[in-house]
Amino acid sequence: MFLLLMVWLPLAVACSSGTEAQPAPDLRAAQAQARESGKKLLIDVYAVWCGYCRQMDNEVYPDPVVAGVIDRYFVRVRLNAESDKVVWFNGEQYTEAELAASFGVRSFPTTVFVASDGSPIGMQPGFMDVPQFSRMLRYVGSDAYKSVPYERYTEDG
């Protein structure tokens, strides 16, 4: 019994430490938080059946480097691209599926970036590993995308 507690307690502390960038509870709350904080919105568009989406959730988003970059620059929210659940974005009502389609999402996972004022920045389809994803997050989060082509940004580090 003591051994079980010794294993469980550090795990519980690690899980509750706040190092993982948890998604906001819903899109309206995420937009309000982004507006209030001046952070950008990161919309993680997924499909329930998508293996690469699960891989991003299990391996990439929990990574401390990725979580730290998200925490610094973004408010994260998840959007099920095949759901009829009603969400609000920029004061308009959509289903999650309609909103994903309005962003132009055609594959999963897709990461959509939105400025704190609700204006679109861009999107990146496909699975990315931790180094690729953290680089992309820093590129968008730091506003480097406004002045430096991504290819040059990745050459510089």
Superfamily of the domain at 19-142: Glutaredoxin (3.40.30.10)
78-107 burial by CB neighbour count: b if 16+ within 10 A, else e? bbbbebeeebebeeeebbbbbbbeebebee
Distance between CA 85 and CA 117 in Å, rounded?
A: 23
Tens digit of each residue's pLDDT (9 = 90 or more) over 24-40: 779 999 999 999 999 99
Check residue 24 and report its DSSP letter.
P
The more confidently predicted of residues 138 and 13 is 138
Beta bridge partners of 76: 42
The pTM of this model reads 0.84
What per-residue confidence (pLDDT) applies to 25?
Answer: 78
Greatest pairwise CA separation for the chain in angstroms? 58
| Mean pLDDT within 41-57 | 98
